[in-house]
């Protein structure tokens, strides 16, 4: 998407080839608590890369190390050829960070906040262009405390972008937003990516990852437990299908389980749940109708990233802050 008001990146390091982020075997403990336990991933230019995991999985620690805000115990991190752990200063020029629940002074107005942050950078984005990109035009003179949750989040994204970063880290972007504001934030993230910024999105929402991410890692207890596109992870491309039918009579014994594409048949209340490979649905319906059994109802269901996530992740029994 390009509009006259869309900020463009200046290309602090546009010539850098290969992945823009490379994290290898990252480890970090807080005392005896192992927060990050050998995490590795790469992020390619122009993608929205997700770091998905339950509370306490180690996501924030990982991106804080990536941003050079926290010192890792071991492992290596490269961001556009720079090392945030040993040389964080140049990293600040190419990286924008929107950290979880960042708060601003209550009386600071939208435009003032952007101008203040812009003053930290040698070649900042025009605050007006960002105000327009983020739909804050009518709020430019509103104090931070009077913004809605969605507007505060949009401002925090604007602040992460004001230094014209090549890479932006957005942490728990939509936590606490209502459904409408979440959707607006998602549209905005896509708009920012389309303007040329690579995005690392930290989230514990499956729907958010499914909707936005080109690729993602799932982290649980400090380790990467899965990696791929949302489609890869939800198994949509692995040819596993499940559907349910309500039948007027029970099918003959072995009719369905005898079909090569059927892997399991289960009674679930008044429904029969049939699972199998790609052709399981047409095969089963054909076999049933061959015996004169026409289903009263057929219900298909696509396996979602959420299903995959629940299978992958064993939730830690940790207290989570309200």
Ligand X SMILES: Nc1ncnc2c1ncn2[C@@H]1O[C@H](COP(=O)(O)OP(=O)(O)OP(=O)(O)O)[C@@H](O)[C@H]1O
Closest contact distance (angstroms) between CB of 30 and ligand X is: 3
Q: How far is CA 93 from the centre of its chain?
A: 24
Phi, psi angles (nearest 5°) of residue 238: -95, 5
Closest contact distance (angstroms) between CB of 315 and ligand X is: 12
Q: Is 292 exposed, middle or buried (0-12, 13-18, 19+ CB in 10 A)?
A: exposed
Whichever of 30 and 120 has its CB closer to ligand X, that residue is 30
The strand pair at 223-228 and 241-246 is best described as unpaired
Q: Which tokens is 191 given?
A: 């708009």
C-alpha distances out from residue 28 to 39, 63, 169, Å? 10, 12, 19
Bridge-partner residues for 169, per DSSP?
97, 200
Whichever of 93 and 210 has its CB closer to ligand X, that residue is 210
Closest contact distance (angstroms) between CB of 61 and ligand X is: 3
Whichever of 205 and 243 has its CB closer to ligand X, that residue is 205
Closest contact distance (angstroms) between CB of 214 and ligand X is: 21
Closest contact distance (angstroms) between CB of 20 and ligand X is: 21
206 close to 187: Cβ distance less than 8 angstroms: no
Rounded distance between C-alpha atoms, residue 247 and residue 251, angstroms? 8
In this structure, how many other beta carbons lie within 10 angstroms of the beta carbon of residue 146? Answer: 13
Distance from first CA to last CA of the chain, Å, rounded?
38
Whichever of 33 and 103 has its CB closer to ligand X, that residue is 33
Whichever of 233 and 259 has its CB closer to ligand X, that residue is 233
Whichever of 71 and 264 has its CB closer to ligand X, that residue is 71
Rounded distance between C-alpha atoms, residue 273 and residue 259, angstroms? 15
Closest contact distance (angstroms) between CB of 284 and ligand X is: 41
Closest contact distance (angstroms) between CB of 183 and ligand X is: 21
Whichever of 160 and 280 has its CB closer to ligand X, that residue is 160
Closest contact distance (angstroms) between CB of 305 and ligand X is: 17
Whichever of 194 and 316 has its CB closer to ligand X, that residue is 316
308 close to 235: Cβ distance less than 8 angstroms: yes
Residues that bind ligand X (CB under 6 A): 30, 33, 35, 53, 55-61, 204
317 close to 221: Cβ distance less than 8 angstroms: no
Rounded distance between C-alpha atoms, residue 54 and residue 315, angstroms? 7
Handedness of CA 268, 272, 273, 275 (dihedral sign): positive
Closest contact distance (angstroms) between CB of 213 and ligand X is: 16
Phi, psi angles (nearest 5°) of residue 136: -105, 15
Rounded distance between C-alpha atoms, residue 287 and residue 279, angstroms? 12
Whichever of 58 and 150 has its CB closer to ligand X, that residue is 58
């Amino acid at each position: 998407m390009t509009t006259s008001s869309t900020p463009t990146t200046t290309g602090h390091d546009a010539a850098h080839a290969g992945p823009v982020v490379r994290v290898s075997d990252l480890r970090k403990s807080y005392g005896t608590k192992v927060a990050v336990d050998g995490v590795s991933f790469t992020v390619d230019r122009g993608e929205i890369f997700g770091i998905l995991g339950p509370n306490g999985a180690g996501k924030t620690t990982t991106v804080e190390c990536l941003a050079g805000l926290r010192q890792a115990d071991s492992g290596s991190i490269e961001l556009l050829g720079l090392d945030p752990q040993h040389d964080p200063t140049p990293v600040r020029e190419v990286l924008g960070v929107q950290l979880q629940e960042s708060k601003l002074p209550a009386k600071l107005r939208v435009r003032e906040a952007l101008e203040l942050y812009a003053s930290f950078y040698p070649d900042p984005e025009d605050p007006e262009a960002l105000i327009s990109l983020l739909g804050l035009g009518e709020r430019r003179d509103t104090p931070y405390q009077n913004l809605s949750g969605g507007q505060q989040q949009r401002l925090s994204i604007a602040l992460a972008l004001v230094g014209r970063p090549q890479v932006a880290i957005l942490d728990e972007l939509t936590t606490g937003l209502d459904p409408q504001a979440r959707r607006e934030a998602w549209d905005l993230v896509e708009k920012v990516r389309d303007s040329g910024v690579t995005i690392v999105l930290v989230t514990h929402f499956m729907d958010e990852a499914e909707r936005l991410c080109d690729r993602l890692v799932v982290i649980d207890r400090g380790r990467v437990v899965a990696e791929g596109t949302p489609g890869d992870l939800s198994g949509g491309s692995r040819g596993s299908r499940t559907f349910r039918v309500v039948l007027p009579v029970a099918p003959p014994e072995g009719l369905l389980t005898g079909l090569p594409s059927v892997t399991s048949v289960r009674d679930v209340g008044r429904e029969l749940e049939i699972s199998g490979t790609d052709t399981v649905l047409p095969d089963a319906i054909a076999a049933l109708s061959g015996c004169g059994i026409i289903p009263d109802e057929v219900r298909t269901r696509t396996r979602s990233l959420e299903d995959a996530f629940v299978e992958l992740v064993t939730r830690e029994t940790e207290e989570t802050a309200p």
